[in-house]
Structure 1
Amino acid sequence: MTDLADSPAVRRLADWDHERLEALADEHGTPLYVMDLDRVKENYTRFAAAFPDAEVMYAAKAHTGKAVLEAVLEAGADIECAAWGELQRSIDAGADPNTLQYTAVNPPDHDLDYAVDLAEDAPGLTITIGATDTLERLAERGYDGRIAIRINPGIGTGHHEKVATGADAKFGIPYERVPEVADRVREEFELVGLHAHAGSGVLTEGLEEHCQAIERVGKMARRVGDADLEFVDVGGGYGVPYREDEDPLDLEKTSNMVRDAVGELEATLKLEPGRYVVADAGLILSEVNTIKDAPDTTVVGIDASLATLIRPAMFGSYHPMLNVSAPDREPEPVTVGGPVCTSADVFAHDRPVARPEREDVLAIGNAGSYGYELASQFHSQPRPAEVALEDGQSRVVRRRESLEDVTRVEQ
C-alpha cells in the first residue's frame, strides 16, 4: 500500500524535479510524455482511502497505457472500460476479466462480439447498457449474463459542456424508463447494478450539482430494489486543479457529500475516478524552436502541437506551463503555439513564462489524463515517446513513432 503521509493532494508543475526533466528531454528527445507511476498509485490509494466502504475502480479511458494500467492494478484497482480495446489492454496488463466492467456506449458490433466472447470464459464480466437496443443485440448473441443499467439522471456537470454526460441524451436510459427496463433485464439477464456518470472535471465548488445527479441515482436504486443489486455505480468525474490558483478536491467533503446524496443502500457503492488518478502524474516536455516578436505579443514556437495534446484546442483547457531550462528567469507574457497549420494550435495566450529562448525545454503540466489518449498523427507527425518514472528509475514505455509507423497501414 502506498504511504500517503508525504503525498500532497495535488502535484503542481513546480513540484517536479526540473533538472531531471531537462535530462529526460536531452536523453529521449521532444516532444516527450512523462508519467510518474508512483504518483498514479498514490492518487488511487488516496481516493480509495476516502471511500473505505466503496469499491473504487479506475476509468481506463483517462490513460490506457500498459504501464499505467499495471500501476493501478498494483494499487488494488479494478478497471472500468468503455470499448473493447480497453478490455483487451486491461487483460494484457494483468487484469482478471471477471473483474472488468464494460460500459457500452452505442457499441459497434465488433465490441459486443468481443464482450460476449469474453464473458463465455469470464462470467464475472459486467456489461453496462445505455440503450434497450443493446439488450436486444446482446440477446441475439446468446448473452444472458451480468447487466448494469446506465441511468441518464438529467443533470450534467463538469468543466465543459462537451463532458457533461449526465444531461446528454447519448448517454444512458431516460430516468423514468429505468424501472421498466430493470424489469426486462431481470427477465432476460442478470441485473447486478445501476450506473450513472454526471460529468468530468468536478472540483469541490461543483460538488453540490454533481451530488444532485447522484441523489437521483440513489433514489432510483431504491425504487428498483437496491437489495437485489450488487452495486450502485455513481461514476467518476472527480477533478484536479489545472490552474495554479485552484484548490485541490476536498476528498473528505467529497466523500461525505456523495454518501449523503446517494442515501442508504444495501448495494455496494462504486466510483470510477480516471482523471483524478492520472492527470497530475503526467506532463509533456517540448523544445522551443522559434521566438517571434509580434505587435501584440511574443510568439514562442515549440515542437509539441495539438496532435500531441488536443485539450486546449478541443475544450479551451488551461494547462500550466514552466520553463524547466531556466525557471528563475524573469517571466514575461508569451503566446505559445505548435507547428500545426491552424490557429487552434495554441497552448497559451499572453501567459507569463520565465523568458523562453530557443532550445529551452518547456513543461506542460497535468497532461496525464486524456493527453496521449487523444494524441494524433495530424500533419503526418509521429506520436511522441512516453517515459515512466517509478521507484527512482525511468524507462521508455512507449517508443517514439517513426514516419514508417504513420504510413504502415497504407496500401
Structure 2
Amino acid sequence: MTDVRASPPVRRLADWDPAELESLVDDYGSPLYVLDLERVRENYRRLEAVFPDADILYAVKANALGDVLSTLREEGAGLECASAGEVQRALEAGASGSEVHYTAVNPPAGDLDWIVDAWNEHPELTVTAGSEDTIDRLADRGYDGRLCLRVNPGIGAGHHEKVRTGAAAKFGVPAERAVDVLTDAADRGFDIVGIHAHVGSGVSSDQLDAHREFVARMGDLARDVEGAVGDLELVDVGGGFGVPYREDEDPLDLASVAAATRDAIGEIDARLTIEPGRYFVADAGVLLTDVNTVKDARDTTVVGVDAGMTTLIRPAMYGAYHPIRNLTAESDGGSPEREIVPQTVAGPICESGDVFCTERELPVSKREDVLGIGNAGAYGYEMANQYNSRPRPASVVLEDGDVRLSRRRETVDDVTRPERGARSGSRGNRKNDHPRATDTDNDPVR
C-alpha cells in the first residue's frame, strides 16, 4: 500500500519519464490518453487521511473510465453521478445502490425513467434533486426513495466563471426555501436523507475564505432542516478541490481545507460528505500527441499536432493552461540539445481557437516528435467530441508496472454508425429513449 507521506502532493508533467511515454505512442498510436491508476490511489489516500470522518464520493464526470471507477471503489469511494449514463457506468463497475448518488440538474425525461427503473432494482440508490419540478417528476414516476435536496447557498468559487456553481441560478433550490421544500417532500412520503451543494470546480488556496463561508451556510441550513423534518444522514458540501496546472503554482493545502471545513460546518448530527473529482485524476493523466506540421508564420512558429480541441477542449473553452513537453527532444540523448524557442501548438480543427498554447518556450519541434500535455486526467476524454467528424482517441492505463488498453480508439466508421443505424431502424430513435449498454449502435466505444 502506498504511504501517502512519501507521495508528493502534486505530480508535475516533469515527473513523468519521457522515453516511457514516447514508447506508448509507438505501441498504441496518437493521440493517446495515459492514466496512472496508482497515482489515482495515492490521491484518494491523501484526501482520506485529512478527512477521516467524512464519506468520500468520486464525481464521475471528471473521468468516467471504468478502470478509474473500479480503482476508486476499491479504495472505498462512493460514486456521484450527474447522468443516467454515469449511473449505468457505476453499476457496471460493481457499485451497489448504496454507493451511488444521482445528482440531477434539469434531468431529461429519459434519464429519470432510467433512474427510477434502476432504483427498483437498487432501492438504496440516492437521488439528489435540484428543483421542486424534479421532485414532482420523480413522484409522477412512483419514486419515493432516498431524496437529497441540492440547494443554492448563494456563494460560488472556482477556476473559471463557467464552473462557479454555488451561486448560479441553474443549480439548486434557493437555500431560504429548502426547509419548506423538504417539509413538503417528507409529507409526500419521500425518504429525506440530506442536503447538497457544490461551490464550484478548481477551488484554490486563495479562495479558502469563500469555501469556509459556503460550508458555514450549509451547516446552518442543516441545523434548520433537522429542526423541521428530523435527522439527516448526510450534508454534502461537494468537491471542487483544485490542482495546480502551472508549474509555479503550489498544491492545495489539504490539511487547511479539511480543518476549515470542520470548523465552518459546526455541530451537526449528519455525516459530512465530500465529492471531489478533479483532485483524484487530473495529475494522474497525460495526453500524448504527434507533431505533423511545423510552420514558420509571420509572428510565431506554429507546431501542428494530431490532438485538438476535440481531444482536449479545456484550453479553447476556459483559456486553461496545461504544461507541455517535447518528449522526443528530451528522450533523444544522442542528439545535440535543441534550442528553446517560443512556439504555438495548434490542433487540426478548423477553428482559430484550436490551440493548446501560444508563444510557449519549448525545444525546437520537428515532424514526428511526440509532445506530452500534462494534467489531462480530468475533463479531458470526458469532454472529447467528434466535431469535424474526428474519432475520439484511445486510453491506456498504467498499473503495477503494466500497461493495458482501457478504451479503444474510435474509427470514422464509429462516428458515422449512428446514421446507418437510424436508416436501418435500429433502437434508440424513439422519444426520450435512453440507450442501454446493449444498444451497440449507440455505444461506439464499447
Does 1:291 pair with 2:300?
no
* 1:257 Cα deviation after fit: 0.8
* 1:329 Cα deviation after fit: 3.2
Equivalent residue for 1:194?
Answer: 195
Alignment map for 1:96-175 (pairs within 5 Å): 96-175=96-175
Whole-angstrom CA distance in 2 between matches of 1:54 and 1:174:
25
* 1:342 Cα deviation after fit: 0.7
Alignment map for 1:153-232 (pairs within 5 Å): 153-188=153-188, 189-225=190-226, 228-232=231-235
* 1:9 Cα deviation after fit: 0.5
Equivalent residue for 1:389?
Answer: 398
- Alignment TM-score, normalising by the size of structure 1: 0.98
Whole-angstrom CA distance in 2 between matches of 1:2 and 1:139:
46
* 1:76 Cα deviation after fit: 1.2
Alignment map for 1:355-394 (pairs within 5 Å): 355-394=364-403
Deviations 1:163-187 (A, max 9, x none): 0111111100011111101211221
Equivalent residue for 2:439?
Answer: none
Equivalent residue for 1:56?
Answer: 56
* 1:18 Cα deviation after fit: 1.0
Q: Structure 2: where are the runs of 5+ without partners?
A: 331-336, 424-446
Name which of 242, 257, 260 aligns with 1:257. Answer: 260
Equivalent residue for 2:92?
Answer: 92
Deviations 1:83-124 (A, max 9, x none): 000000011111112221100110111111111111122221
Q: Secondary structure at the match of 2:292?
A: strand
Counterpart of 1:352, as a letter, is E
Which range is displaced more, 351-360 or 338-347?
A: 351-360
Whole-angstrom CA distance in 1 between matches of 2:302 and 2:5:
42
Equivalent residue for 1:280?
Answer: 283
Q: Secondary structure at the match of 2:243?
A: coil
Given that residues 2 and 75 in structure 1 are in contact (C-alpha distance below 8 angstroms), is that contact kept between their aligned partners in structure 2?
no
Deviations 1:370-400 (A, max 9, x none): 1000101111111111010000000001111
Counterpart of 2:225, as a letter, is V
Whole-angstrom CA distance in 2 between matches of 1:382 and 1:253:
43
Counterpart of 1:342, as a letter, is E
For these two proteins, the number of residue pairs brought into alignment is: 411
Counterpart of 2:302, as a letter, is V
Whole-angstrom CA distance in 1 between matches of 2:173 and 2:362:
47
Q: Secondary structure at the match of 1:5?
A: helix
Does 1:334 pair with 2:337?
no
* 1:26 Cα deviation after fit: 1.1
Which range is displaced more, 91-100 or 193-202?
A: 91-100
Counterpart of 1:31, as a letter, is P
* 1:211 Cα deviation after fit: 1.9
Runs of 4 or more off by more than 4 Å in structure 1? none
Equivalent residue for 1:17?
Answer: 17
Whole-angstrom CA distance in 2 between matches of 1:222 and 1:354:
58
Counterpart of 1:334, as a letter, is Q
* 1:196 Cα deviation after fit: 0.3
Q: Secondary structure at the match of 2:222?
A: helix
Counterpart of 1:375, as a letter, is A
Deviations 1:112-148 (A, max 9, x none): 1111111122221110010000111111111111100
Equivalent residue for 1:73?
Answer: 73
Name which of 233, 237, 240 aligns with 2:236. Answer: 233
Deviations 1:277-329 (A, max 9, x none): 00011110001111111221111111100000001111110001001111363
Whole-angstrom CA distance in 1 between matches of 2:159 and 2:339:
32
Given that residues 282 and 366 in structure 1 are in contact (C-alpha distance below 8 angstroms), is that contact kept between their aligned partners in structure 2?
yes
Deviations 1:51-100 (A, max 9, x none): 00100110000000111111111111110101000000011111112221
Q: Structure 1: where are the runs of 5+ without partners?
A: none
Equivalent residue for 2:328?
Answer: 325
Whole-angstrom CA distance in 1 between matches of 2:58 and 2:2:
16
Whole-angstrom CA distance in 2 between matches of 1:240 and 1:123:
36
Given that residues 59 and 81 in structure 1 are in contact (C-alpha distance below 8 angstroms), is that contact kept between their aligned partners in structure 2?
yes
Deviations 1:21-70 (A, max 9, x none): 01001111111100111111111111111100100110000000111111
Given that residues 104 and 129 in structure 1 are in contact (C-alpha distance below 8 angstroms), is that contact kept between their aligned partners in structure 2?
yes
The alignment-based identity, stated in percent, is 58
- Alignment TM-score, normalising by the size of structure 2: 0.90
Whole-angstrom CA distance in 1 between matches of 2:117 and 2:126:
13
Given that residues 279 and 367 in structure 1 are in contact (C-alpha distance below 8 angstroms), is that contact kept between their aligned partners in structure 2?
yes
Whole-angstrom CA distance in 2 between matches of 1:310 and 1:20:
25
